[in-house]
Amino acid sequence: MLIVMKPTATQSEIDRVMEIVETLGFRPHAMPGASRTAIGITGNKGAVDRAHFENLPGVADAIRVTKPYKLVSKDLRPERSVIKVGDSEIGGEKLAMIAGPCAVESPEQVFQVAEVVAGSGAKFFRGGAFKPRTSPYAFQGKGEDGLKVLAEVRDQFGLNIVTEAMDEHGVDLVEKYGDCIQIGARNMQNFSLLKYVGQTRKPILLKRGLSATLDEFLLAAEYVMSEGNYDVILCERGVRSFGTHARNTLDLSIVPALHKLSHLPVIVDPSHGTGRNYMVDPLARAAVAVGADGLIIEVHPCPEEALCDGAQALLPGQFIELFEQVQAIRNVLQPAEETVALQV
Amino acid sequence: MLIVMKPTATQSEIDRVMEIVETLGFRPHAMPGASRTAIGITGNKGAVDRAHFENLPGVADAIRVTKPYKLVSKDLRPERSVIKVGDSEIGGEKLAMIAGPCAVESPEQVFQVAEVVAGSGAKFFRGGAFKPRTSPYAFQGKGEDGLKVLAEVRDQFGLNIVTEAMDEHGVDLVEKYGDCIQIGARNMQNFSLLKYVGQTRKPILLKRGLSATLDEFLLAAEYVMSEGNYDVILCERGVRSFGTHARNTLDLSIVPALHKLSHLPVIVDPSHGTGRNYMVDPLARAAVAVGADGLIIEVHPCPEEALCDGAQALLPGQFIELFEQVQAIRNVLQPAEETVALQV
Amino acid sequence: MLIVMKPTATQSEIDRVMEIVETLGFRPHAMPGASRTAIGITGNKGAVDRAHFENLPGVADAIRVTKPYKLVSKDLRPERSVIKVGDSEIGGEKLAMIAGPCAVESPEQVFQVAEVVAGSGAKFFRGGAFKPRTSPYAFQGKGEDGLKVLAEVRDQFGLNIVTEAMDEHGVDLVEKYGDCIQIGARNMQNFSLLKYVGQTRKPILLKRGLSATLDEFLLAAEYVMSEGNYDVILCERGVRSFGTHARNTLDLSIVPALHKLSHLPVIVDPSHGTGRNYMVDPLARAAVAVGADGLIIEVHPCPEEALCDGAQALLPGQFIELFEQVQAIRNVLQPAEETVALQV
Amino acid sequence: MLIVMKPTATQSEIDRVMEIVETLGFRPHAMPGASRTAIGITGNKGAVDRAHFENLPGVADAIRVTKPYKLVSKDLRPERSVIKVGDSEIGGEKLAMIAGPCAVESPEQVFQVAEVVAGSGAKFFRGGAFKPRTSPYAFQGKGEDGLKVLAEVRDQFGLNIVTEAMDEHGVDLVEKYGDCIQIGARNMQNFSLLKYVGQTRKPILLKRGLSATLDEFLLAAEYVMSEGNYDVILCERGVRSFGTHARNTLDLSIVPALHKLSHLPVIVDPSHGTGRNYMVDPLARAAVAVGADGLIIEVHPCPEEALCDGAQALLPGQFIELFEQVQAIRNVLQPAEETVALQV
């Protein structure tokens, strides 16, 4: 059930609806939009009776939701969500650029990249302190020490920190040190973890699983949102296929498909999505051209020495060039004047 | 590094090697086999010097392991592992049959199926108390109450309980009430969870991820074993593909491939592997014919009323018939006489 | 439209219906079955008026077909089709075994294998004279000379010859020298070729394309049948997937799915389906256990010298053993007594 | 073997090398490039002796080719090939736009679209007269009558005609009426057809198979080129995957991968690649951004009445807008000044 409030509804009318939903034993999720607020209801088994709501003051309509996802849906919020991450945002007019090394290896390595990223005008820094590695014998990340280095990057360079958590303990730490909690592709259907991060108050960057369908991807976001955390950023990072020319098959068609169904922002990871240095640049351009709200890019000062995924990392100079080119493409899609007009 | 002990090595010689490995700061993993014990070493970065071991009493050889997996490998234990689960075993001469409903719904439903399963001669009972569901709004399982029902099944019917855990809390509960901890396909690369169950002392049933390669699957088992729990059972349950005639594509070729590389037992789940009632029987026969050590089959007294995955559940009568047929196929592969001879 | 004749319908009543279909400008396809004949109608655009048929003598019913396939469907012939190939048959009580080298290389190589195959009791011999090779620079087959060698195999050993054609010229030659025309996986949707072989009078062995869905596979068979050649044998040979432990992913679940929808026999090719010698035996067993009507197996006297696909060929001794084992499994599925009973 | 001629080599020196190759029983393939000509050799079994060539006048080097493909390779021609199609070209500075209906349905429908396409500044017109349809009962195309309509489009609108052939007879007709012979995805490994079109003198548009690897795709082009037709344009059109949000998964990463290995131009078909009208525009932008040399787009005056693939066709107005946007993106990648400089 979805309660659409009138554009003129007052906050107390909204609160009244919220209370009634709770009284019925369900959970209300208020989504304020540009012209009106909608309230999604979860926790019900079977249909909720419209009669509870349709005659309340401020209520425009009470709509039954038949799709499997509710809170991620455009039915609830017709316009795109802009997610606040630290002191910047993802999903708005500006292309969001998240860049940094695959893994935190040392303060020197991290600061060297952070300087380049900050200098480029990007607002977000990535770097893993907890690394989900296929082998138990591979480098597993620096843990809390790594997170402290990332926190220093925020202090020194003013970059907002996006970093992965793999379990509840990691979530607690990332919540403390970082600005955005990344859930990796292999945990996209770790439902316990999704529920746990749904109870934090930091935005979530949710990567698409290696063979996740669009429905599964949106429902993973729904898991987070159904717990009350509505700040979810979706990230396409390539799917498994038969091909061998790239490490994964970057599925850019999911970007317009997600935007059609959901209000959540969608970014693309061409680094993991291709696994090949020479492909990152063209696929980053393609991702922006297809309409992605941002990119997440791996940069390493010395890729051949990287402890993790060096084959896909860009050199600092390559990254600077890439960022300029993708912004130029973004401008073609969204002329500067129009952007200004929209922001007014 | 892998230390192969002489067939004549004494326990104190083995202990001596174990101590030296620990003194070097590494972790020793002793794998007793039919004719000799081998000791796998993990925790080393780079090669371990053979000189530490090759002249010790009782040591036959010290071999460098170049494959990404060590403890799962036949290099460590050339013969097949037989895993003790409750009072029975998986991987031995007898085909292991694990059967029961997808989810624990009610004591009545569970006992009704348990009676059939016990009557069939099967030794293992399945049933989920924690259900990983694509949607947050779908039935999520009965939790600890469900586990208590399963514990009663063990008491009343003498069946050993195989049931899934999705997080650390769930693992603690399954360890308390069940006999074997199932890790679901969606958690196959939930590395934190793998490490956690590696510290329990209950056997682990590890399902293959929806698009996991053979290497990823074996390395997930290696995660568990590297923490000291060597009792891992691998389970093929179908992979994602383009086809639509079945819910998944059951990849039976992985059974001989796993048996070639690993000493771990391999079972097959034709219920999830096909998602269609009418396919369970033929694919179960195929799984046994291909050489699987066991099957895990969903049975429900009333599939159309099942809260979860009813389309793939067998009726009790269908299950009885299936079990007879697959045992007949098993006997063709492994004549009874030979079995006896091997057991002597 | 599908005209079901009464069990008591006479041949002249059937002929009458056929004539009327032709008069209407459509094409009639008579399918005699165990208890009744059905007549499929193709060539119509839009629905055919039942009134033309329902009151004719001998007509039991006139049914509108809503599925995309008509002639392959069980609606047309409820019982399984048994296809005559040379002096033997595929789809009947006996497991059909087609064996031989991937490619005809020399008379010596071919005769050596043929002797083994004939000695095993198998009734069909395979061997390619036209080889569809990924590279234009790879061995392309011996052409008509190869076909002559195969024809000699029939004469000397009494084996029925199954061999591939890649184009119209090849079809003409295979029709002359062979007993069954194989259409390879890469030509499964070569619709011009399908129509062409639909006009021959030799049975067609149609291999599933590398990423063909069940519908596409059945409709490829429908292409052949719609031209008047009803003798089509379907062959699963593995599909493309992300896995690397086998050359292809053998999809055994398509066997029961095809049998559920279609009356056509289904065989399995575990040689191409796995591409690994050590997997052929277990997957052949699985294919028979799943209910396949036959197998096609590559045998080579000296696989390491094979000009094509040596890695998957069995040695003669391996083949003999395999054939014995799969027949034992077949007997489990279909007790000898019952078989006799059915044949009466 | 690859013979690289000196930049100063004369035509008679080149001819001399060609003759010697022929004398040796092989086939020479001369590829003139910007700075030098290279001569590929095919038809050899095993290595060719360098001594035949290395001391001939005009020869710079004789290089052994170890990759499976020779003539498609950048080793043979380091710079990109520009393919002449009718009176225009594909692979040069200008983005090639091929647009038109999926199928030729009627002269009116075709001329209506042709007027729009010509008006947009596009140089190429597409439209199928022979349609490879999954079902034998679906509309199969207008055949030669359709080709005549297309020939009229060339005469009236000055557009160059790209149209599919499915067999030898069709190739002969397309060669007569059209400017470029399209080989469809389902025929990408119809090797007999590839050889046949390799003997024509019209350029070939080769679509990637539904599950073709990069190697298979390049080797299919090699089949055409090894017969002497060097004018091949590669076309990515989406591959089979598990996803259901689009009809196929458009694999844009193959564009940079092909450009890295091969001198052939690469275009993209976002219409078949997505199968959804609303995705064509974003994916066309992405294709241009990733570096494709052109696009092939389906346009229909009335998609809901299309006899074939209406769900993916653009309306004329949508096409005009798309073409403008992709040209703007192309200009970002390749500033106008630079283009002029390169053309001088």
The residues facing C90 across adjacent strands are C83
D332 contacts in chain A (CB < 8 Å)? 325, 328-329, 332
Per-position DSSP letters for C75-117, written without gaps between them: TT-SSPP-EEETTEEESSSSPEEEEE-SB---HHHHHHHHHHH
- CATH code of residue B181: 3.20.20.70
Please tell me the distance in Å from B254's CA to the nearest CA on chain A: 17
In the prediction, which pLDDT does C272 show?
A: 97
Please tell me the distance in Å from D324's CA to the nearest CA on chain C: 36
Residues 6+ apart with CB under 8 A from D46: none
Instruction: State whether D13 and D90 are in the same domain.
Output: no
d(CA C224, CA A110): 64
pLDDT average, residue stretch D280-287: 98
The residues facing B181 across adjacent strands are B163, B204
Which residue, C150, C28, C30, is CA-closest to C101? Answer: C150
Q: Kindly state whether residue B290 falls inside one of the protein's structural domains.
A: yes
**b or e along A219-244 (b: 16 or more beta carbons within 10 Å of the residue's beta carbon)?**
bbbbbbbbbebbbbbbbbbbbbbbbe
Residue of D nearest to B244 (CA): D242
C interface mutation test: which of A241, A242, A247 has the most C CBs within 10 A?
A242
Question: Is C168–D168 a contact, with Cβ atoms under 8 angstroms apart?
Answer: yes
In the prediction, which pLDDT does D339 show?
A: 38
Please tell me the distance in Å from C270's CA to the nearest CA on chain A: 20
Q: Where are the alpha helices (DSSP H) in B121-253?
A: 144-157, 168-177, 191-197, 214-226
Which residue, D185, D224, D223, is CA-closest to D204? Answer: D224
Among A42, A135, A195, beta carbon nearest to B219: A135
Instruction: State whether A267 and A305 are in the same domain.
Output: yes
In the prediction, which pLDDT does D341 show?
A: 37
In the prediction, which pLDDT does D335 show?
A: 59
Q: Hey, CA dihedral for C273, C274, C276, C279, is it positive or negative? A: negative
C285 contacts in chain B (CB < 8 Å)? 289-291, 333
d(CA C296, CA C276): 15
- Going from the C-alpha of D269 to that of each of A163, C74, D96, D105, D209, the distances in angstroms are 37, 38, 12, 21, 13
Q: Which residue matches tokens 């075709």?
A: D110
d(CA C337, CA C326): 18
List the structure tokens of C36. 């009744």
Instruction: State whether B178 and B41 are in the same domain.
Output: no
Instruction: State whether A93 and A6 are in the same domain.
Output: no
Instruction: State whether A274 and A316 are in the same domain.
Output: yes
Given a cut of 80, whether residue C281 has pLDDT beyond it is: yes
Per-position DSSP letters for C219-251, written without gaps between them: HHHHHHHHTT---EEEEE--B--S--SSSSB--
Instruction: State whether A56 and A95 are in the same domain.
Output: no
D306 or A292: which carries more pLDDT confidence?
Answer: A292
In the prediction, which pLDDT does D65 show?
A: 84
d(CA B142, CA A124): 42
In the prediction, which pLDDT does B289 show?
A: 98
Q: Which residue matches tokens 């599950």?
A: D211
Q: Which residue matches tokens 């771990």?
A: B264
Q: Kindly state whether residue A71 falls inside one of the protein's structural domains.
A: no
Question: Is B240–D242 a contact, with Cβ atoms under 8 angstroms apart?
Answer: yes
In the prediction, which pLDDT does B335 show?
A: 59
List the structure tokens of A189. 């259907």
d(CA C299, CA C271): 9
Please tell me the distance in Å from A211's CA to the nearest CA on chain C: 10
d(CA D27, CA D136): 41
Q: Kindly state whether residue B103 falls inside one of the protein's structural domains.
A: yes
What's the order of all strands across the beta sheet hosting B2-5? B27-32, B37-42, B2-5, B59-63
CB B203 within 8 A of CB B180: yes
d(CA C270, CA C247): 11
Among A244, A256, A273, beta carbon nearest to D213: A244
Chain C (190-249) residues lying within 8 Å, Cβ to Cβ, of chain D: 190-193, 195, 209-211, 215-216, 219, 222-223, 226, 239-240
CB B71 within 8 A of CB B65: no
Q: Kindly state whether residue D73 falls inside one of the protein's structural domains.
A: no
In the prediction, which pLDDT does C46 show?
A: 81
Please tell me the distance in Å from C129's CA to the nearest CA on chain B: 29
Residue of B nearest to D242 (CA): B242
CB D132 within 8 A of CB C189: yes
Instruction: Name the band, by pLDDT with cuts 50, 70 and 90, for residue C309.
Output: confident
C300: left (phi over 0), alpha (psi -120 to 50) or beta: beta
Among C239, C260, C289, beta carbon nearest to B278: C260
CB C288 within 8 A of CB C95: yes
Instruction: State whether C203 and C252 are in the same domain.
Output: yes
A244 contacts in chain B (CB < 8 Å)? none
d(CA B117, CA B316): 8
Please tell me the distance in Å from A241's CA to the nearest CA on chain C: 5
Q: Report the range of poorest mean pLDDT among C295-309, D184-198, D269-283.
A: C295-309
| C149: enclosing H helix or E strand | helix C144-157
Question: Is C192–D215 a contact, with Cβ atoms under 8 angstroms apart?
Answer: no
pTM for the model: 0.95
- Going from the C-alpha of D331 to that of each of C111, C170, D284, D322, the distances in angstroms are 65, 50, 15, 14
Type of residue at B19:
E
Question: Is C167–D193 a contact, with Cβ atoms under 8 angstroms apart?
Answer: yes
Given a cut of 80, whether residue C339 has pLDDT beyond it is: no
The three-class DSSP label of residue A96 is strand
Q: Kindly state whether residue D74 falls inside one of the protein's structural domains.
A: no
Which letter does DSSP use for residue D47 in this model?
A: P
- CATH code of residue A8: 3.30.70.1140
d(CA D30, CA D76): 9
Chain C (275-334) residues lying within 8 Å, Cβ to Cβ, of chain B: 278-279, 282-283, 285-291, 325, 328-329, 332-333
Residue of B nearest to C210 (CA): B242
Among A214, A260, A332, beta carbon nearest to D243: A214
Q: Kindly state whether residue B277 falls inside one of the protein's structural domains.
A: yes
pLDDT average, residue stretch D198-223: 98
Instruction: State whether B36 and B133 are in the same domain.
Output: no
| B255: enclosing H helix or E strand | helix B254-261
Residues 6+ apart with CB under 8 A from C94: none
Which letter does DSSP use for residue A312 in this model?
A: G
Q: Hey, CA dihedral for D266, D272, D277, D282, is it positive or negative? A: negative
D251 contacts in chain B (CB < 8 Å)? none
Q: Which residues of chain A are modeled with pLDDT < 50?
A: 336-344
- Going from the C-alpha of C340 to that of each of B211, C61, C323, the distances in angstroms are 45, 33, 21
Residues 6+ apart with CB under 8 A from D51: none
Subunits in contact with chain A (3 or more CB pairs closer than 8 Å)? B, C, D
In the prediction, which pLDDT does A335 show?
A: 59
Which residue, D277, D269, D267, is CA-closest to D309? Answer: D277
Instruction: State whether C87 and C57 are in the same domain.
Output: no
Number of B to C CB contacts under 8 A, please give it.
127
Residue of B nearest to A186 (CA): B189
Question: Is B253–C285 a contact, with Cβ atoms under 8 angstroms apart?
Answer: no
> Measured between CB atoms, does A63 come within 8 Å of chain D?
no
Please tell me the distance in Å from D287's CA to the nearest CA on chain A: 6
Please tell me the distance in Å from B210's CA to the nearest CA on chain C: 11
Q: Which residues of chain B are modeled with pLDDT < 70?
A: 335-344
Instruction: State whether B287 and B150 are in the same domain.
Output: yes
Instruction: State whether C223 and C286 are in the same domain.
Output: yes
Please tell me the distance in Å from B213's CA to the nearest CA on chain D: 16
d(CA D124, CA A1): 51
d(CA B251, CA B235): 11
Given a cut of 90, whether residue D210 has pLDDT beyond it is: yes
In the prediction, which pLDDT does A306 show?
A: 87
d(CA D60, CA A107): 51
To the nearest 10°, report the CA torsion of B209, B214, B217, B220.
-140
In the prediction, which pLDDT does C335 show?
A: 59
B241 contacts in chain D (CB < 8 Å)? 242
Helix H, strand E, coil C: the string for A161-183 is: EEEECCCHHHHHHHHHHCCEEEE
| D102: enclosing H helix or E strand | none
> Measured between CB atoms, does A166 come within 8 Å of chain B?
yes
> Measured between CB atoms, does B172 come within 8 Å of chain A?
no
Question: Is D214–A329 a contact, with Cβ atoms under 8 angstroms apart?
Answer: no
Q: Kindly state whether residue C89 falls inside one of the protein's structural domains.
A: yes
* Residues A7-37 pLDDT 10s: 999 999 999 999 999 999 999 999 998 889 9
pLDDT average, residue stretch D219-225: 98
- Going from the C-alpha of A72 to that of each of A69, A93, A218, B308, D147, the distances in angstroms are 6, 20, 7, 24, 49
d(CA A258, CA B46): 45
Which range of residues forms the domain containing residue B40? 2-63
Question: Is C329–B332 a contact, with Cβ atoms under 8 angstroms apart?
Answer: yes
C-alpha Rg value of chain A to the nearest Å: 21
* Residues C209-233 pLDDT 10s: 999 999 999 999 999 999 999 999 9
Q: What burial class does residue D50 get, using C-beta atoms within 10 Å of its C-beta: 0-12 exposed, 13-18 middle, 19+ buried?
A: middle
Number of domain units in chain B: 2
- The share of chain C scoring above pLDDT 90, in percent, equals 88
Q: Kindly state whether residue A39 falls inside one of the protein's structural domains.
A: yes
Please tell me the distance in Å from D245's CA to the nearest CA on chain B: 13
The three-class DSSP label of residue C1 is coil
Residue of B nearest to C257 (CA): B245
In the prediction, which pLDDT does B242 show?
A: 95
To the nearest 10°, report the CA torsion of B160, B162, B167, B168.
20
Given a cut of 70, whether residue D143 has pLDDT beyond it is: yes
Instruction: State whether D15 and D115 are in the same domain.
Output: no
List the structure tokens of C148. 């002559």
Subunits in contact with chain C (3 or more CB pairs closer than 8 Å)? A, B, D
